[in-house]
Amino acid sequence: MGFFDKLKKGLEKTRKSFTEKIEQIVVGYAKIDDDLLDELEEALISADVGVKTSTLLMEEVHRGIKKKEINTPEDLRPFLEEKISALLMAGSDASTLAVNPPTVILVIGVNGVGKTTTIGKLGNYYKEQGKTVMLAAADTFRAAAIDQLEIWGSRIGATVIKHDEGSDPASVAFDAVKAAKARNIDVLIIDTAGRLHTKSNLMEELKKINRVIQREIPEAPHETLLVLDATTGQNAINQADVFSQSAPISGVVLTKLDGTAKGGVVVGIKAELKMPVKWIGIGEAVDDLRPFNSEDFAKALFSDK
């Protein structure tokens, strides 16, 4: 099964709760009235695109009705498809690679979102691209996080730089950057603590990590990726908002998109937070993390076949 087919299969529950629900609402009405529009708004909110994005889309619908772009209930679905696809495709979701390796990727996010697993899969993706990969265990607050990263390192054939539990995370990051440069590594991926700190603590810790990295590579980190769990829906948007106030996030990795009806959260993250979605995870397999392609995602979300 190709990745697009996996994506379509993974978005099945979202499609049922979102596009098929819109279809059912539309079929139930002979004309456009307030009840229909209320139901439509409710469907958008329940699909976890977020309240702000739902409001934005409903404003577009009202404008479309006024401009006679929408004349019957049947016109609503293609109209919304077009608007949602435009939101998904806004901005660039491409990943950044350093002109002169190593590319340094800092990974942040709360515990339980699949952060360490994402790092392993990300490392595997770059290995498949023929690049050398190093991992750094700068989440020093949990011994389990260090152990888990070592397991992934062994699995994908990547060196893991680590210190003891409770060590200074910035010190691990510094040693990792020095080692990556010395060994001509292409991609260095740094794990960080998965606690949702108070904003000031989070900011200070990440600032310190950034400072020590930049001593060695002034333009690094080249990416700061926030890992979010799609199954948490609206809460993922809230988390992204909190983290974006504390760290210069370059993009989002959305995990666990398969098996959730809340895939609409991708629309909310892009439209509400204007944040690139760089990677998506749609399964347990090591190769089920792939770069986000907005066009494919829109096709998979609205595809009936």
Region of residue 67 (left: phi > 0; alpha: psi -120 to 50; beta: else): alpha
Is residue 88 a contact partner of residue 18, using CB atoms and an 8 Å limit? no
pLDDT at 96 (0 to 100): 92
Q: What is the pLDDT of residue 76?
A: 93
pLDDT at residue number 293: 93
The pTM assigned to this predicted structure is 0.91
In degrees, rounded to 5, the angle at the alpha carbon of residue 145 between the alpha carbons of residues 251 and 117 is: 50
183 vs 103: CA distance, rounded Å? 13
pLDDT at 51: 87
End-to-end CA distance of the chain: 15
Pairing of strands 159-161, 103-108: unpaired
| Token output for 145 | 């996080």
- Please give the structure tokens belonging to residue 256: 């666990």
Q: What would the two tokens of residue 11 be?
A: 């978005």
Backbone dihedral angles phi then psi of residue 241, each to the nearest 5 degrees: -65, -45
Q: Which residue, 287, 254, 249, 276, is CA-closest to 120?
A: 287
pLDDT at 102: 98
Average confidence (pLDDT) per 10 residues, the chain, 305 residues: 86 86 88 94 85 93 96 93 93 92 95 90 97 96 90 97 93 97 98 70 84 95 95 87 84 90 89 92 90 92 74
- φ, ψ of residue 104 in degrees (nearest 5): -105, 120
DSSP-derived pairing of the beta strands 277-281 and 289-291: antiparallel
Output the six-digit token pair for 93. 């979701």
